[in-house]
Amino acid sequence: MLLRRHFLFVASLLASTTAVMADEAAAGFRAQFLAGNLSWDDVLTQARSEGAVQFFYWGGDDNLNVWMDSVVAPAMAALGVTLVANRITATKDAVDLVIADAAAGRTIGDGSVDAIWLNGENFYTLKQQDLLFGSFARALPNAVNFEWEAADARSQLNLRDFGTLTDGAEVPWSGEQYVCAANRAQLPVAQTPHTFEDLRAYLEANPGKFAYIKPPHYLGNTFVQQVLYAFNPDGTGAEPFQQAIADLGAAELARLVAPGFAYLKQIEPLLLGGPQGAVRYPEDAAAAEGLFRNSEIHINCGFGLYAVATKRANGSYPQTAEEIIFPAGNMIKNKNYLAIPANAPNPAAALVLANYMSSVDAQVTKLDLVGYPAGIDPWTLELADAAALAAAAPAHFGVTQDELDANIAPDTNASLVDVIEATWLEYIERGSRLPLEEIVANAVAKLAP
């Protein structure tokens, strides 16, 4: 792992000696496109001459990979562009590659990554390092499929990614919601927890039967964020967590998160392995899923509005798995996006891919075959298209779409996520005896400038 990253770095250093100069044609294309001087036909022509698009995405979902190869690749081929699907195990790998390329002086036309599926901290990193292609999302023909009107609260998911302004540098691709599944073979409907207090009561009766994924994994971070929303001492839920750390301040953040962290500390002995004296946090979604399948935990949580339907169908969840509304009113919903790096080797082909992914066709087949909620906004579509989207949606078990919609909460600002995860590591995992205010203040002080 470490060696490979070095290899990448060294290799890009060597390559840079032969191709330091920016690709003039690609740089010109970017300037013209961002200035609005090109028609979409010009973009298509340029994309055909580039010939291929290097798309980097997390390759851990077989359904998604099959859809990519059997639906997206032919559709792109019809536009004269070969889709090169680079399946990676972590999105950060693609971000690292963009940064390594840039460090080696490879600018637009010379890099290795055309498009990345990402959100949250990874987008924040690229934006901070000024490594994004530019504001393209609203210039795509399919931009009409999204709500951009800031006055409409529903546009926030298109305009902000974990609190970071997207500025059109990424286009929404899928929506997601944090949903927990219960195994009805162990957990009867009457005992279903809806709040974190319910969860504690359930765990007191059934010690060790719940686990959340270890932060800094984003699924673990999300669970922690929901706890913090629910225990917000002002009762304002997610609201104050939308601000950046610079505006909120370390002392105020510490005050807001104190009851939530106290709860996390309190339930620790009741979590998986706690009764045996060594609490165990699963490393990733696959590990948690294995525990759930084996009845070691009764509730498994993750992002996936239709995950229960998909997993029941492919056998990775038992047929007794059902969705539950937990935590009520604080189920985090967000979107994930396609971003184009500043050093994309084939920028026009990347734009064509982003536009195709935003089409009704792509979104309907993705929902149908992969089960990922639409990234486009149904109310902006023609009635027939919206109906097709609704018809493609997989089923819910035990809850209705309306109940799921009624309990959503926004994500936490990306600049707070780093602080919260550092606080969790220090306060919960390392069991630091420092007061929480000091831990939060240290985490804020250590943040990358």
Provide the β-strand partners of residue 83. Answer: 53
Closest separation in Å from C-beta 132 to other proteins: 16
Of 38 and 213, CB closest to other proteins: 213
Torsion on CA atoms 61, 63, 68, 72, rounded to nearest 10: -140
DSSP assignment of 19-48 equals --S--HHHHHHHHHHHTT---HHHHHHHHH
Of 6 and 138, CB closest to other proteins: 6
Q: How far apart are CA 297 and CA 291, in angstroms?
A: 6
Of 289 and 323, CB closest to other proteins: 289
Q: How far apart are CA 45 and CA 52, in angstroms?
A: 13
Find, among 199, 174, 175, the residue nearest to 187 by Cα: 199
Q: How far apart are CA 399 and CA 60, in angstroms?
A: 27
The backbone torsions φ and ψ at residue 131, rounded to the nearest 5 degrees and listed phi first, read -120, 30
Of 137 and 279, CB closest to other proteins: 279
Closest separation in Å from C-beta 207 to other proteins: 11
Of 46 and 336, CB closest to other proteins: 336
Closest separation in Å from C-beta 16 to other proteins: 11
Residue with the two structure tokens 């990193």:
125
Closest separation in Å from C-beta 48 to other proteins: 34
The backbone torsions φ and ψ at residue 412, rounded to the nearest 5 degrees and listed phi first, read -85, 145
Q: How far apart are CA 174 and CA 390, in angstroms?
A: 15
- On the question of a cis peptide bond just before residue 216, with omega within 30 degrees of 0, the verdict is yes
Closest separation in Å from C-beta 32 to other proteins: 29
Of 162 and 231, CB closest to other proteins: 162
Q: How far apart are CA 266 and CA 206, in angstroms?
A: 15
Binding site for other proteins (CB under 8 A): 1-3, 5-7, 9-10, 90, 92, 99-100, 102-103, 121-122, 125, 129, 208, 214, 216, 273, 276, 278, 280-281, 283, 290-291, 293-296, 418, 422, 429-430, 446-449
- Which amino acid does the sequence have at 407? N
Closest separation in Å from C-beta 6 to other proteins: 4
The answer to whether 442 touches 232, Cβ cutoff 8 Å, is no
Of 12 and 358, CB closest to other proteins: 12
